[in-house]
Amino acid sequence: MDKYLCEPCGYEYDPEVGDPDGGIAPGTAFEDIPDDWVCPICGLGKDVFVKM
């Protein structure tokens, strides 16, 4: 699974880790994250993330 980078703040979404605090379980691919999920650092949406 690919990692994704939040371009504005530099947060890396790693699917092996997920975002447990944001309700995203480890092993969740970026494509499978709900569209209303936001970056846990800057609060922007999935549209600002780019594949690493």
At 32, the pLDDT band (50, 70, 90 cuts) reads: very high
At 3, the pLDDT band (50, 70, 90 cuts) reads: very high
Spell out the domain ranges in the chain.
1-51
Q: Does domain 1-51 have CATH number 2.60.120.10?
A: no
Q: Give the C-alpha separation, 30 to 18, whole Å.
A: 9
Mean of pLDDT over the chain: 97
Q: Give the C-alpha separation, 28 to 7, whole Å.
A: 20
pTM: 0.93
In the annotated binding site, the residues are: 6, 9, 39, 42
Q: Which residues are CB-neighbours of 26 under 8 A, at least 6 positions away?
A: 15, 16, 17, 18, 20
Instruction: Please give the average per-residue pLDDT across 30-38, as a whole number.
Output: 97
In the annotated binding site for Fe cation, the residues are: 6, 9, 39, 42
